Amino acid sequence: MAIGVTSTLARPLLGRLSDKIGCGRSLIVAFILETIALLLLSIVGTLVGVILSGSLYFMGSAIGGSRILALAMEQAPAERRGRAMASFSVSFPLSNGAGALLNGLVVDMAGYRWMYIVAAVMCAFGLVLTWKQWSKLK
């Protein structure tokens, strides 16, 4: 319930914040929030910790998700925006499915704690890629 409330409230508010602070900064904030949330999930053992982690993750997702979609549309030529939207709309859920398969393998091999750590490392990798592309994202 906390994640649903966070997601419902955060998306419209943080989506607008993302527009105000710019592409690079909003992606950096999103990756940081998501990485912290996933690392926190690997160590918490209480309901409050899980709720806090989920809320942080969905705040990062609210900022990053809207910004990534906007970035995809901004980078596409005007005459190809429909195709870009279709590609994004297919690729984004496909990446979630591929990530779920990868995380399932990690759970099988090492357990849930390591799954969250591996997911946090993937988010941190996104942070590094964003940082390296910073000049293109301003």
CA 70 remoteness from chain centre: 14
Give the start-to-end residue ranges of the domains of the chain: 2-137
Identify the residue with better confidence: 134 or 54.
54
Rounded mean pLDDT of 46-55?
92
Q: State the pLDDT at residue 132.
A: 86
Calculate helix-pair angle for 47-75, 23-43, nearest 10 degrees. Answer: 150
User: Considering the entire predicted model, what is its pTM?
Assistant: 0.86
Predicted confidence (pLDDT) at residue 18 exceeds the cutoff of 90: no
* pLDDT mean across residues, the chain: 88
Q: Which CATH number fits domain 2-137: 3.30.70.3400, 1.20.1250.20, 1.10.579.10, 1.10.10.10?
A: 1.20.1250.20
